[in-house]
Structure 1
Amino acid sequence: MIYSSVLAAVVSALAAEAIDNTSKQAWQKLYDPGSEDGHDMAILSRSVERGKISRLDADCWVFARLHSQLKPRHWDVLVAKYSTHKGRKVQSLGRLWPIVASHAPKLFIISAVTAWAIPKMKGADGKRSSDIIVLPAQFYDMNRWDPDASPERTRRRWRAGIEVVLDGMVVEALAEAGAILTHEGLSLENAA
């Protein structure tokens, strides 16, 4: 068993994609698109367990399979929430905010979606590794998100509603990813 859960598989695959390594495509040698059982990941899983290929190769295979099989909105919400690849995360955020239903103004929706995907980091002055996106502390001030200065209660309701929509999309996306991984023959300890 390579992964303990669907979330572990998703996070590991998204993290592997951010690693710049030219040998990432070794898994393609194991892929047999015409196999009769259609359980290509079962072959991959056995190959990792036997040491024939690396975990990174498996992660890259999972990344490619999920990217090609998930609905775009499901892929984008997983990338926005869990990826460490700056470019992909930003691109996914740009595709997510237009599909989030809310009565909030456009700037508020964009800001709320971004704050959900890139939560405020604890620590001194946001000093972190350059490998992750760190937004300035003032970005998280909801007063800046609403040019019409709606009441605080309204802004909190909007933000909570946006987060509920996004969290619901994550749940759906993980369920779909789990179905894909299971269909491909990858065994997981638990489904979520």
Structure 2
Amino acid sequence: MTYRNVVSAVVRALAAETINSAGGCDFEPKVQCAKQKGEIVGKEAAFLVDCMVFSRLRKGLAPAHWLALLAQYSTHTQRKHDAIVTIAKGIKSPAPERFRHAAVVTWAMPKLPGQEGKRSTNVLPSGWYCMDNWVDEPTAERTQYRWKSAICKELKAMVDGALAEAQAILDAEELISDIAA
């Protein structure tokens, strides 16, 4: 199995963790069952590759890059939350800590058009997206936008670096398709 691009590989690998009801990349029972029938093919083979990519990325990426991918793409709520908290603590900004944390949270879980928490996606209450709620003391709107812009730029650079590193890992494993779809 090969992936179309690095983002689809990362998304599938991170989603593999939450596919089964037990949580985690629990592929061994599926593999054992498939071995009894013969060759591992179809969904079981794809799931096995997704789990392998998860493991390979987890071990091969720098910790900061791994956290950036978890915060941006993970569907595992607790891992995403832990990554957000860790990243928010490491962001360099003159903004107060609460502002930095809220900026990272809203970057990792952006407001989706038409979403009011009625679907199964992670949607924050609308108050989270109002920057005036991110500071205790009144701060000029331009200053808040400058802080948020700088934080988002740093976060985008982290994800871009992580995707470049993941691309190198997946290219070495020959898991990215050369054929454009």
TM-score, normalised to structure 1, is 0.80
2: distance between equivalents of 1:85 and 1:111? 19
Larger RCO (alpha carbons 8 Å, 6+ apart): 1
Which residue in the other structure is 2:27 paired with? 24
Give ranges in structure 2 of 5+ residues lacking alignment: 33-38
Moved over 2 A (4+): 25-29, 50-53, 121-126, 184-190
TM-score, normalised to structure 2, is 0.85
Query: Could you tell me whether the CA contact under 8 Å between 2:115 and 2:123 is conserved in 1?
Result: no
* Count of equivalent residues: 170
Which residue in the other structure is 2:88 paired with? 97
Secondary structure of 1:84's aligned partner: coil
Which residue in the other structure is 1:83 paired with? 74
Which residue in the other structure is 2:100 paired with? 109
Q: Aligned AA for 2:4?
A: S
Which residue in the other structure is 2:9 paired with? 9
Which residue in the other structure is 2:36 paired with? none
Give ranges in structure 1 of 5+ residues lacking alignment: 30-46
Aligned alpha-carbon RMSD (Å): 2.3
The one of 124, 144, 151 equivalent to 1:135 is 124
State percent identity of aligned pairs.
Answer: 42
1: distance between equivalents of 2:86 and 2:3? 29
1: distance between equivalents of 2:63 and 2:89? 13
Query: Could you tell me whether the CA contact under 8 Å between 2:27 and 2:51 is conserved in 1?
Result: yes
Q: Aligned AA for 1:149?
A: P
